[in-house]
């Protein structure tokens, strides 16, 4: 999730970059929209995208695709803020994401309310990032386009059939194992020249 005070993609990028610089991890694991800033934060460190958005090949990446903006526009409150993201969809879609009420309460306690303008901002994309050490883990088919793109780029990929977007809440050990498998596949992995994406 983006930091509570975030009002733009640049704010998220700055916060994640600071966290990265403080810890200097050997692997970046990016879930959901964090994928958009991961290459700019990772600075060449291997990345495993986990059910995540992928940034543009170069230039700038919008924080939300145009189709999503229409949906979000209808949700903006009189204060100019969006509700927490678990209220962006119906209960029938949101409830299965969580293994129990406690897990849901924990996530919902940390959800920021973002202005719609946040999703109209962009973040810079490092030149040539797609040929760096990257892998992709998909939960089900929600990010099928991104998974297909990762395959075209020659990245190591895996897909957990039937899993939902917060699958790590249901099976943390299994997800960690798959992430580490993909990370180990990146050792010495050369994606070569990316194909069209």
Helices (H) and strands (E) in the chain, counts: 8, 6
28-32 and 47-52 beta bridge pairing: parallel
Residue ranges and CATH numbers for the domains of the chain are 9-185 (3.40.50.1820)
How many angstroms separate the Cα of 12 from the Cα of each of 15, 35, 36, 39, 46? 5, 11, 10, 13, 20
Q: Which residues have CB under 8 Å from 89's CB, separation 6+?
A: none
Rg (CA), the chain: 17
pLDDT in tens, 74-90: 999 999 999 999 999 99
C-alpha to C-alpha distance for 107 and 197, rounded to whole angstroms: 33
pLDDT in tens, 127-177: 999 999 999 999 999 999 999 999 999 999 999 999 999 999 999 999 999
C-alpha to C-alpha distance for 8 and 187, rounded to whole angstroms: 34
Q: Taking the model in full, what pTM does it have?
A: 0.91
């Amino acid at each position: 999730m983006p930091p509570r005070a975030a009002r733009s993609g640049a704010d998220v990028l700055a916060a994640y970059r600071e966290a990265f610089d403080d810890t200097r991890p050997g692997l970046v694991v990016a879930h959901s929209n964090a994928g958009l800033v991961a290459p700019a934060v990772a600075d060449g460190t291997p990345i495993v995208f986990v059910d995540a958005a992928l940034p543009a090949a170069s230039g700038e990446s919008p924080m939300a695709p145009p189709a999503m903006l229409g949906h979000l526009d209808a949700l903006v409150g009189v204060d100019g803020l969006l509700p927490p993201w678990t209220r962006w969809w119906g209960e029938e879609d949101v409830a299965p994401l969580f293994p129990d009420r406690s897990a849901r309460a924990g996530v919902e306690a940390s959800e920021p309310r973002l202005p719609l303008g946040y999703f109209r901002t962009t973040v810079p994309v490092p030149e040539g990032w797609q040929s760096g050490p990257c892998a992709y883990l998909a939960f089900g088919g929600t990010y099928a386009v991104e998974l297909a793109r990762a395959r075209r780029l020659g990245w190591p990929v895996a897909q957990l059939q039937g899993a939902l977007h917060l699958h790590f809440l249901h099976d943390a050990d299994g997800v960690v194992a798959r992430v580490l498998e993909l990370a180990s596949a990146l050792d010495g992995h050369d994606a070569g020249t990316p194909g069209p994406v």
